[in-house]
Every structure is written in structure tokens, then in C-alpha cells.
Amino acid sequence: DAKTTQPPSMDCAEGRAANLPCNHSTISGNEYVYWYRQIHSQGPQYIIHGLKNNETNEMASLIITEDRKSSTLILPHATLRDTAVYYCIVRYPLTNFGNEKLTFGTGTRLTIIP
């Protein structure tokens, strides 16, 4: 799986959009970009994933650049409950059971400021 680079920490004002960047310059053509987050003392929570096109769900939007070397996770109206560590992961489509594991990097610690 390709390596990702994220800023170690970010702050965002409550009610504003939080934009979390991720660089994955070595991504290959069929690797997907996934985002998870982990709130303190809880298990990781799946947020969103995508391949080429921008994606949106009830939690967030994912914007992937045309060259796919970077992406941005957008939380449109951040609340205090969005304070967490956010992990960007790049992984191949899983075609055999040996590739199932997730590997988290150090992530971005997002703090929402009241």
C-alpha cells in the first residue's frame, strides 16, 4: 500500500469547515483512499473512501485531485464531537485474504475550538 503524509495537528473553529489534507504521491492506479477517525478511548470509525471521483456521505466529503497524488477530507460544519485523530489510508482493492489488514500512520490530531 502507498505511503501517506498528513500534518500532525490542526485546529478548526466550531461551525466552520474542517479541511484535512493528505499526500499520497506514490499512489497507483487502482488504490483507493480511505479515511478513518479515532476519538479518544474509542475504536476507529470509518468515514469515507474513494478512487478517482469526489465522494460525499452524511459525515464528510472527499476531494481527490485529478492526478490522485493528494486528497482532502472535508467536515462541512465541525462540532466539538469531531475532535479526534484522523487517518488517511491508501490501499489496493482487496483481492485475496492476505491483504485485509489496515495500517494506520500517525494521522492528524484535529481539535475543534469552541
Residues that bind another protein (CB under 8 A): 32, 34, 41-46, 49, 93-98, 100-106
SS3 state of residue 22: strand
Least Å distance, CB 41 to another protein, is: 8
Q: Which is nearer to another protein, 12 or 85 (CB)?
A: 85
75 has which bridge partners?
18
Q: Which is nearer to another protein, 78 or 90 (CB)?
A: 90
Least Å distance, CB 113 to another protein, is: 25
Q: Which is nearer to another protein, 13 or 94 (CB)?
A: 94
SS3 state of residue 52: coil
Q: What's the alpha-carbon Rg for the chain, to the nearest Å?
A: 14
Q: Which is nearer to another protein, 39 or 113 (CB)?
A: 39
Residue type, 96: N
Least Å distance, CB 29 to another protein, is: 14
SS3 state of residue 36: strand
| Among 19, 20, 22, CA closest to 2 | 22
